[in-house]
Amino acid sequence: MIKHRFLLFLLTLYSAALTQSGCTTTRPNTSTTKSSTPSLSTPPSSALAKKKAAPAKEKAVSVETLYKQGIEYYENNYFIQAALKFRKAAEQGHADAQFKLATLYYDGKGVSRDAAQTAQWYRKAAEQGHADAQFKLASMYYDGKGVSRDPAQTVHWYRKAAEQGHADAQRFLGALYFVGSGVPQDYSQAKHWYRKAAEQGHAEAQLSLGMMYFNGTGIPLDLQQAKKWLSLAAEQGNQDAIAAREKVANIQ
């Protein structure tokens, strides 16, 4: 009995000693805690705020496409739309578009009729070597429409077009040499340019060349050559050539 009480006393002292020394056991905390580091798979809210949808880029349209669209509108008589397309292409230096825009200004289709704008756009195309524009610009200088009348500029632009094989320009340049307008009168040059156009089937040039041979103006009279060129013009329905051919036939 005494031994039992002594053991209890020792156990009591041991427990007290443990309590005073702070050596208590604690169970480990097995609960999971959320990390303060953001997940790599989810972008931070600030990044989401800055990320905006990129605006859709307008598909670039080539200058040639603009011109072709203008032609399509023009052929279907949508002249306002044609003018818009031609202008966009013309402003990018497209010579054919510049010529077409000038023509719209000349005719007053899709835009107000404006001789000055007509001349401006013909000039832009002409300076790029556009033969039709060179011919039209020369005619404007001859008539004094949209520009001041200028015989020298008339000859200059007719020559530019004529040298590219433009039959109308060749015929008009021949006429200028024939009468001496803007250039010294020169029948040899008149014949040269008339023939250039006549060989391309230009009826007016064939008539003019035929009459030079018929009258012997600046060149030897030659009824055979006169008949040849007058007949070619007459076959195209030129009434003056028909009448002149009859005169040649009566002489022969």
pLDDT in tens, 120-132: 999 999 999 999 9
Cα–Cα distance, 146 to 229 (Å, whole number): 36
Say which residues have a Cβ less than 8 Å from residue 229's Cβ, sequence separation at least 6. Answer: 198, 206, 207, 209, 210, 213
Query: For residue 163, what is the DSSP state?
Result: T
Query: Which of 176, 119, 121 is closest to 152 using CA atoms?
Result: 176
Crossing angle of the two packed helices 167-179 and 151-162, in degrees rounded to 10: 140
Q: Which domains occur in the chain, in start order?
A: 61-144 (1.25.40.10)
Name residue 90's amino acid. A
pTM score above 0.95 = no
Q: What is the pLDDT along the chain (252 residues), one digit of tens a residue?
A: 445 554 555 455 555 444 454 444 444 444 444 444 444 344 444 444 444 544 445 467 899 999 999 999 999 999 999 999 999 999 999 999 999 999 999 999 999 999 999 999 999 999 999 999 999 999 999 999 999 999 999 999 999 999 999 999 999 999 999 999 999 999 999 999 999 999 999 999 999 999 999 999 999 999 999 999 999 999 999 999 999 999 999 987
Q: What is the CA radius of gyration of the chain?
A: 47
